[in-house]
Structure 1
Amino acid sequence: MIEIRQLSKRYPGKGKTEGLLALDRIDLHIEAGEIYGIIGHSGAGKSTLLRTMNLLERPTEGSIQVAGIELTQLNKKELQQQRSKIGMIFQHFNLLSSATVYDNIAFPLQLVNTPKHKVDAKVNELIRLVGLEAHRDKYPAQLSGGQKQRVGIARALANDPKVLLCDEATSALDPQTTQSILSLLLQINKQFGITIVLITHEMHVIQTICDRVAVIHGGRIVEQGKVVDVFLKPSHAVTQEFIMEENHLGDLSSWVSFKNGQGVHSRIMKIHYLGEVTYEPILHRVLSAAGIEFAILQGTISRMKDVPYGQLIIRMDGKEEALRHAAVALAEQGLEVEVLA
Structure 2
Amino acid sequence: MIELKGLTKTYGKGSKSTTALSDLNLNIRKGEIFGVIGHSGAGKSTLIRCINLLERPTAGEVWVDGINLTSLNKIDLQQQRRKIGMIFQHFNLLSSATVYDNVAFPLKLVNTPKAAMDRKVKEMLALVGLEDHSNKYPAQLSGGQKQRVGIARALASDPNVLLCDEATSALDPQTTDSILKLLLDINEKYNLTIVLITHEMHVIQNICDQVAVIHQGGIVEQGPVTEVFLKPQHAITRDFMMRDHEVGIALEETALASADVSLQTDGSSKLVKISFLGNKTYEAILSRTVRKTGVDFAILQGTISTIKQVPYGQLTVRFEGQSDEINLTIKELMDQGLDVEVLR
TM-score for the superposition, normalised by structure 2: 0.91
Paired with 1:84 and 1:300, the residues of 2 have a C-alpha distance of 42
Q: Alignment partner for residue 331 of structure 1, among 329, 334, 337? A: 334
Given the superposition, is the C-alpha separation of residues 71 and 108 from structure 1 closer, same or farther in structure 2, using an over 3 Å criterion? Answer: same
Q: Which residue identity lines up with residue 174 of structure 1 in the other structure?
A: D
For residue 336 of structure 1, report the CA deviation from its aligned partner.
Answer: 0.6
Q: Which residue identity lines up with residue 340 of structure 1 in the other structure?
A: L
Counterparts of 1:46-61 in structure 2, within 5 Å, are 46-61=44-59
For residue 265 of structure 1, report the CA deviation from its aligned partner.
Answer: 6.9
Given the superposition, is the C-alpha separation of residues 68 and 261 from structure 1 closer, same or farther in structure 2, using an over 3 Å criterion? Answer: closer
Paired with 1:262 and 1:178, the residues of 2 have a C-alpha distance of 49
For residue 297 of structure 1, report the CA deviation from its aligned partner.
Answer: 1.6
Q: For residue 258 of structure 1, what is the aligned residue in structure 2? A: 261
SS at match of 1:146: helix
Paired with 2:319 and 2:169, the residues of 1 have a C-alpha distance of 41
For residue 284 of structure 1, report the CA deviation from its aligned partner.
Answer: 2.9
For residue 30 of structure 1, report the CA deviation from its aligned partner.
Answer: 1.0
Q: For residue 157 of structure 1, what is the aligned residue in structure 2? A: 155
Paired with 2:264 and 2:134, the residues of 1 have a C-alpha distance of 73
Given the superposition, is the C-alpha separation of residues 266 and 257 from structure 1 closer, same or farther in structure 2, using an over 3 Å criterion? Answer: farther
Paired with 2:89 and 2:300, the residues of 1 have a C-alpha distance of 38
Paired with 1:247 and 1:326, the residues of 2 have a C-alpha distance of 28
Q: Which residue identity lines up with residue 8 of structure 1 in the other structure?
A: T
For residue 262 of structure 1, report the CA deviation from its aligned partner.
Answer: 7.3
Paired with 2:257 and 2:63, the residues of 1 have a C-alpha distance of 51
Q: Which residue identity lines up with residue 79 of structure 1 in the other structure?
A: L
Does 2:293 match 1:285?
Answer: no
Q: For residue 318 of structure 1, what is the aligned residue in structure 2? A: 320
Does 2:222 match 1:219?
Answer: no
Does 2:12 match 1:8?
Answer: no
Q: For residue 294 of structure 1, what is the aligned residue in structure 2? A: 298
- Higher share in helix: 2
RMSD: 2.1
Paired with 1:193 and 1:260, the residues of 2 have a C-alpha distance of 52
SS at match of 2:39: coil
Q: For residue 82 of structure 1, what is the aligned residue in structure 2? A: 80
TM-score for the superposition, normalised by structure 1: 0.92
Gaps of 5+ in 1: none
Aligned residue pairs total 337
> Given that residues 295 and 326 in structure 2 are in contact (C-alpha distance below 8 angstroms), is that contact kept between their aligned partners in structure 1?
no
Paired with 2:169 and 2:263, the residues of 1 have a C-alpha distance of 49
Given the superposition, is the C-alpha separation of residues 145 and 267 from structure 1 closer, same or farther in structure 2, using an over 3 Å criterion? Answer: farther
For residue 320 of structure 1, report the CA deviation from its aligned partner.
Answer: 6.4
Tell me whether 42-51 or 328-337 shows the greater mean CA deviation: 328-337
> Given that residues 89 and 168 in structure 2 are in contact (C-alpha distance below 8 angstroms), is that contact kept between their aligned partners in structure 1?
yes
Paired with 1:266 and 1:310, the residues of 2 have a C-alpha distance of 26
Given the superposition, is the C-alpha separation of residues 260 and 203 from structure 1 closer, same or farther in structure 2, using an over 3 Å criterion? Answer: closer
For residue 214 of structure 1, report the CA deviation from its aligned partner.
Answer: 1.0
Paired with 1:132 and 1:31, the residues of 2 have a C-alpha distance of 31
Tell me whether 232-241 or 189-198 shows the greater mean CA deviation: 232-241
> Given that residues 258 and 265 in structure 1 are in contact (C-alpha distance below 8 angstroms), is that contact kept between their aligned partners in structure 2?
no
Given the superposition, is the C-alpha separation of residues 159 and 137 from structure 1 closer, same or farther in structure 2, using an over 3 Å criterion? Answer: same
> Given that residues 273 and 317 in structure 2 are in contact (C-alpha distance below 8 angstroms), is that contact kept between their aligned partners in structure 1?
no
> Given that residues 292 and 317 in structure 1 are in contact (C-alpha distance below 8 angstroms), is that contact kept between their aligned partners in structure 2?
yes
Paired with 1:216 and 1:339, the residues of 2 have a C-alpha distance of 29
> Given that residues 297 and 313 in structure 1 are in contact (C-alpha distance below 8 angstroms), is that contact kept between their aligned partners in structure 2?
yes
For residue 261 of structure 1, report the CA deviation from its aligned partner.
Answer: 7.4
Tell me whether 66-75 or 46-55 shows the greater mean CA deviation: 66-75
Q: Which residue identity lines up with residue 171 of structure 2 in the other structure?
A: L
> Given that residues 275 and 315 in structure 2 are in contact (C-alpha distance below 8 angstroms), is that contact kept between their aligned partners in structure 1?
no
For residue 231 of structure 1, report the CA deviation from its aligned partner.
Answer: 1.9
SS at match of 2:15: coil
Q: Which residue identity lines up with residue 328 of structure 1 in the other structure?
A: K
1:147-202 Cα distance to aligned partner (Å, 9 max, x none):
11100000000111111000011111122211111111111111112111111111
Q: Alignment partner for residue 173 of structure 1, among 165, 171, 174? A: 171
> Given that residues 213 and 227 in structure 1 are in contact (C-alpha distance below 8 angstroms), is that contact kept between their aligned partners in structure 2?
yes
SS at match of 1:159: coil
Counterparts of 1:203-214 in structure 2, within 5 Å, are 203-214=201-212
Q: Which residue identity lines up with residue 167 of structure 1 in the other structure?
A: D
Q: For residue 186 of structure 2, what is the aligned residue in structure 1? A: 188
Given the superposition, is the C-alpha separation of residues 282 and 154 from structure 1 closer, same or farther in structure 2, using an over 3 Å criterion? Answer: same
Does 2:52 match 1:93?
Answer: no
Q: Which residue identity lines up with residue 293 of structure 1 in the other structure?
A: F
Paired with 1:260 and 1:297, the residues of 2 have a C-alpha distance of 15
SS at match of 1:316: strand
> Given that residues 269 and 315 in structure 1 are in contact (C-alpha distance below 8 angstroms), is that contact kept between their aligned partners in structure 2?
yes
For residue 18 of structure 1, report the CA deviation from its aligned partner.
Answer: 4.6
SS at match of 1:256: helix
For residue 319 of structure 1, report the CA deviation from its aligned partner.
Answer: 4.0
SS at match of 2:132: helix
SS at match of 1:127: helix
